[in-house]
Structure 1
């Protein structure tokens, strides 16, 4: 998740200070990826160091505003124009957990029940999917309403992604369960064949 580029995109709309950037970022993403103000200011410091933003005055309360530089606009255009790289996928905790559960669960004295891990995750993901579906109904009403704003559409797009991701995860968990069942049946089938041959 590129907070750096998200902040640059928000600054393209005009100068902002850190708390405004945090609020607008969360409004556009429905607070799916919450930011703390310290993280925003740390990122702004790096962007300033890299020449992508510059201080642009302050208000009566001492909030320092930041504005995009020409280099920042170029960086932002390149980000929008470049597809997200899928060659190095991010680590997925669930995939790692199941891979470890399968290997640890194969030990004779293991306390890991891989099927239970899958079932618990599927129930959790199904609940998340239902929550996102309810939120989508509200987001659709906002987008189709007379006072619709671009951040309503942005939130709807994020919700669609979360729904598709949850659906894919449930499908993958079902596939994992099927593979486990088939794998468990293989030694029993081999033993039965050996018994018939003797």
Structure 2
């Protein structure tokens, strides 16, 4: 997720302080990884440098001055562009690692089926956690849990498909190894 574009979206309704932006971000999007204050302020400085946000005012407080940021016309244009641009479907790093582990396990003669079984169990544990989160959470948490659960379900289907093909995949890897070593 683009933190900078998300902050632009949070700024669009009106000028806000970095502290307020961080709080709103964490409530809506920070369940998995809350933002640190330093990241909010460094992102706001980059947005300002790039002409997408501007300093709308400074208020003195008990601590450091509180800076008020506002989105610029160029920022609204960039936000519109980002919102309308479909996300590129991408296999996550976890899925790529799992694929690599299966291939390397077969390549080395290790038990790939055991690896897939262990991963299946980990996915089922995470699904149970997400079901609890969905039942206990507000609408935002439910939607987030659904997103993860659907992806976990797709991973489980891939695990089942990979397991069904292990013998053929092992033969293919052995054949490929033999062809490249000759």
Indicate yes or no: 2:53 matched with 1:50: no
Q: Distance in 2 between matches of 1:160 and 1:32?
A: 14
Matched with 2:152 is: 166
Indicate yes or no: 2:83 matched with 1:85: no
Q: How does 1:143-182 map to 2 (within 5 A)?
A: 153-182=139-168
Matched with 2:71 is: 68
8 Å CA contact retained: 1:98, 1:114: no
Where has structure 1 moved over 3 Å in runs of 4 or more? 181-186
Matched with 1:130 is: 128
Q: String of CA shifts for 1:73-112, please: whole Å, max 9, x gaps.
A: 11111111221133xx25523323432442354235xxx4
Q: String of CA shifts for 1:39-70, please: whole Å, max 9, x gaps.
A: 22221111111101011223324222211111
What SS is found at the alignment partner of 2:16? coil
Instruction: Kindly state the Cα deviation for residue 23 of structure 1 after the two structures are TM-superposed.
Output: 2.0
Alignment TM-score, normalising by the size of structure 2: 0.80
Rg comparison, structure with higher value? 1
User: How many pairs are equivalent?
Assistant: 169
Q: Distance in 2 between matches of 1:2 and 1:37?
A: 16
Matched with 1:193 is: none
